[in-house]
Amino acid sequence: MLLPDACDASQRRLEAEVLAAVADLSAVSVFRMVRPEPDALWLHVNTDVLPALLARVLPRVTADGVAGIAGVRMRQHRRHIELHEPLGSARVLLAGVSQGQQTAALSYPRSLPGEPLWDRKGTTSAEAAVCTPTHAWPVALASGVLRRVWLFTELPRVVWTAGTCSVEWLGGWPIPQMVKALRHPVFGLAGVTVAECYSADRRVIVFVPAIVPFGGTSQVRGSQDHRAAVRS
């Protein structure tokens, strides 16, 4: 495989959670480019979408619990924003964002109700409670999809229910062409086995449970809204 997949479980989990958290963004084009590395993922984000993306990813504690991705922390650099785990090496980097653009984009999540947690050291007790394992799903597939998000015309959704995993999207390539791309020997997903495909309002590829050992399963962290979005 010439297109690298994430090298460890924490990196795959962070990438999967980013995809789940932003999957409901209505913008047609969220990412301009993706640069995958074994131990990191660079996402070039369209700046007009950046405020909404940060609002969905950065954690804050509200009266209803933790919104955003519990445990994620943020570092600002001269030309990019780094999303990372406080006690791990997992990193997702939002590239090509000037300091002025960062300040403007962060004004939106800072204006939302609740107390920001993304600049805290360590994991807070509120986040630890949310991180309690509640639902297993194949993070390796979701991570792999985010690393290949340029295949889709809109953000795809990875859905895991009743032992079946599916990737759903609107528009773009027809299913046979998408299956061929995902099986490509250079940039495809390793170990993909398709159980069935169909197209209704959304185009859907359903994978057999054998995809799960490709990187294993993990636990959805995030807020209650985040977990519901993954299952819906």
Query: Residue 160, SS3?
Result: strand
Q: What is the pTM of this model?
A: 0.83
Residue 105 belongs to a domain: yes
**156 and 204 fall within a common domain:** yes
Q: Is residue 1 part of a domain?
A: no
End of a domain among 131, 151, 174?
A: 131
CA 209, CA 40: separation in Å to the nearest integer?
A: 27
Same structural domain, 48 and 67: yes
Residues 6+ apart with CB under 8 A from 177: none
Instruction: Report the CATH number at residue 148.
Output: 3.30.70
Mean pLDDT on 190-203:
70
Is 68 within a domain?
Answer: yes
pLDDT in tens, 59-84: 999 999 999 999 999 999 999 999 99
Residue 3's pLDDT is what? 78
User: In this structure, is residue 4 part of a structural domain?
Assistant: no
Q: Could you tell me which residues come within 8 angstroms of residue 160 by beta carbon, excluding any fewer than 6 positions away? A: 135, 136, 137, 138, 230, 231
Q: 191 lies in which domain range?
A: 136-222+226-231
Q: How many domains would you assign to the chain?
A: 2
Cα torsion at 190, 193, 196, 202 (round to 10°)?
-10
Which range of 24-38, 157-171, 195-209, 216-230 scores highest in mean pLDDT? It is 24-38
Token pair listed for 25:
């963004």
Assign residue 222 a region: left if phi > 0, alpha if psi is -120 to 50, beta otherwise?
A: left
